[in-house]
Structure 1
Amino acid sequence: MVSRRSLLGTGAAVSAASVAGATTGHAATAPKHHRQSTDANKQLVRDYAAQVFNGHQPELAVKFVTPDFVWHGGFMGTVSGVEGLVGLIGSWIESMPNLNAEELDILAEGDLVTVRYFVTATVRGSLLGIPADGKQLSWESGTIWRITDGKISEEWPFDDTASVLVQLGVLTSPSGG
């Protein structure tokens, strides 16, 4: 029988054992650290939604986002910086003062957090160029956030805008409903 020492040599055997021990130790702690950071990222997004969006305090965004924050809004365009975000959320709240997003699901992996929401609101001001009519709206929404150094640095919202337009009477649903 050939010993490990004779195959690897004394130094290699010690190094191999050290690497094996370090790898095992790292593997044992990595999931806990990863879980802690994803839990912290989810809590950041929940606090942002509660205070800024549902709390109707867009000025508090500065606590939650990086100075170079970017909102990637699809057909609504791109908004950069905290001031742009505050203005954007402020305009939604002005149009729909009871705007509320209820969290349905939340997932986190690495520096990304994804949330699926059920949003409700009553139109009290012009919305997407459509005059206010007091209609109550509801739709599903999803958002992906990138977290950088404990703050939100990017956001990609995915709203069911077609549903909103059908409810506003601007678009006809193919199903007729």
Structure 2
Amino acid sequence: MPVSPEENKAIVRRFIDAHNTRNLDLFSELVDPGYIDHTHHQEGIEEFRKLFELAFVAFPDWHEEIVDMIAEEDKVWVRVEATGTQTGEWKYMGGSLSPTGNKVAISMVFIWRIADGRLAEGWGVDGDSDFLYSLGLMKYTEKGEEMFFGE
């Protein structure tokens, strides 16, 4: 039986709320066991869950605020404003970053396909350059500083 776009939006809201409250127990209820993460090129609920566990260590105050949400058929698009402070070690893609104490604020857009009341596939676009710059992992060139921050 098809689920309405409004019901799909409610699933995404519950997922983001579970993320904000660190309630990973809801993953098994809200995420399909065969979840496909197109952003990080991985498959399976456990791999997806690990991303959140690592992020919670690095950014214990991470919070995502829903700004916009659109649903059509089995897809939900959501734009969030995310904030956090890196007070723990950030392990990602084989590397790690010691705590910087830096605050991060980025906009992100996610698209989720919902199947049988669970997130089945996901795509994400985020402010990677803003995120990396805030953590001190990326710097603008002298020309970039002049163009974007000069007088």
Do 1:59 and 1:86's aligned partners in 2 also have CA atoms closer than 8 Å?
no
Larger strand percent: 2
For residues 64 and 49 of structure 1, what CA distance do their matches in structure 2 show?
10
Larger radius of gyration between Structure 1 and Structure 2: 1
Larger helix percent: 1
Question: What is the aligned counterpart of 1:108 among 49, 71, 83?
Answer: 71
For residues 33 and 63 of structure 2, what CA distance do their matches in structure 1 show?
25
Query: How many matched pairs?
Result: 139
Letter in 2 for 1:95: A
For residues 94 and 60 of structure 1, what CA distance do their matches in structure 2 show?
18
Map of 1:15-164 to 2, 5 A cutoff? Answer: 37-51=4-18, 53-73=19-39, 77-127=40-90, 128=92, 129-164=96-131
Offset, 1:122: 0.7
User: What SS does structure 1 have at the residue aligned with 2:133?
Assistant: helix
For residues 163 and 59 of structure 1, what CA distance do their matches in structure 2 show?
31
User: What SS does structure 2 have at the residue aligned with 1:63?
Assistant: helix
TM-score (norm 1): 0.73
Structure 2 unmatched ranges of 5 or more? none
Deviations 1:8-34 (A, max 9, x none): xxxxxxxxxxxxxxxxxxxxxxxxxx8
User: What SS does structure 1 have at the residue aligned with 2:32?
Assistant: strand
Offset, 1:140: 0.5
Structure 1 unmatched ranges of 5 or more? 1-33
When the two chains are superposed, the root-mean-square deviation of aligned CA atoms in Å is 1.7
For residues 98 and 57 of structure 1, what CA distance do their matches in structure 2 show?
14
